[in-house]
Amino acid sequence: PALCLGSLSQNQNTYDGLTRIKNVQQIEMGKARMTPWYFSPYPQELCSLPVIYICEFCLKYLKSNNCLKRHKIKCKLFHPPGNEIYRKNNISVFEIDGRKNKNYAQNLCLIAKLFLDHKTLYYDTDPFLFYVMTEYDQFGLHMVGYFSKEKESSEDYNVACILTLPCHQKKGYGRLLIEFSYLLSQVEGKLGSPEKPLSDLGLLSYRSYWSNAVLEALIQYLDSPTESPPSLTILELCDRLCMKKEDVISTLQHLNLIHYYKGQYIICLSNEIIDQHRKSMFRRKVRIDEKYLQWQPKDWSKRGKW
């Protein structure tokens, strides 16, 4: 059976030890050949082959390059299924319903499991939405990464699982995916957060995004005409960033910006921190631009929406 990946959580006690053993030697997807890091439950007859070939548009897995060539003649997709909800320049994001596009969602999860450890395995993709980021060229829209989220999350989690394909890492796509997840939370009018606890790698990625987002919001506030002395509460900062209170506080503590002074907690920003942040943001060439989002949230509590 195919699967859906759960959270970025580390504490998954139900893992069978055998599933921690890497079972796929290599996969070929588009122009990239990648070496998996972890186990993924592909059919056993494919796992014995040196390479599993994957259609980069529909994500169907095949046993040989000849099979892939024959499949390409019949496959009419040049982009992910679902709705294109964002496009700016050569970057697009597609929203894919795990119920309406079950085969694609299941195949996506199989790929993701090759590169993500400590995941809960679900054998039903219906409760999930998948947001696939693509890069456009003359041959189509090629997947660079994705994140999933539950249609209904009691904790308002805005990400269940997130991955940038190894062949597209170190290009800033991971940060773009996180940024996009918070843009969706903003449109929903919610404070979002990834499922907890985070893996070490997940925490590293989110800590970087949160640090930049918090510093940017604080510097923008200081640059705007405000009362003197400036006054900004933690809750106001949460609302500006659509971040949960615990994530904002942990980020301020990580950056060592919170200090106790004359009976109250204050946020201290040095000129050195401001300069470092501005240099860092200047190097970022690609950002998510909310003007290019074409999306309305659905009320998934009404089962008719499913």
pLDDT tens digits along 31-44: 999 999 999 999 99
Q: Across the chain, what does the average pLDDT equal? A: 88
Please state the rounded mean pLDDT for residues 216-242. 85
Instruction: For 66, list phi and psi in degrees, rounded to 5.
Output: -65, -40
- Rg for the chain (alpha carbons), in Å? 21
Tens-digit pLDDT profile for residues 176-223: 999 999 999 999 999 999 998 777 778 889 999 999 999 999 998 888
pLDDT at site 303: 61
Is the pTM higher than 0.85? The answer reads: yes
Token pair belonging to 27: 């996969």
Whether residue 121 is predicted with pLDDT greater than 80 in this model: the reply is no
- Active-site positions read 195
* Geometric angle at alpha carbon 183, from 89 and 244, rounded to 5°: 150
d(CA 244, CA 168): 29
3-state secondary structure of 238: helix
Instruction: For 195, list phi and psi in degrees, rounded to 5.
Output: -60, 140
Q: At what angle do helices 234-241 and 245-254 cross, to 10 degrees?
A: 110
Token pair belonging to 306: 């499913």
Question: Would you say 240 and 224 are in contact if contact means Cβ atoms under 8 Å apart?
Answer: no
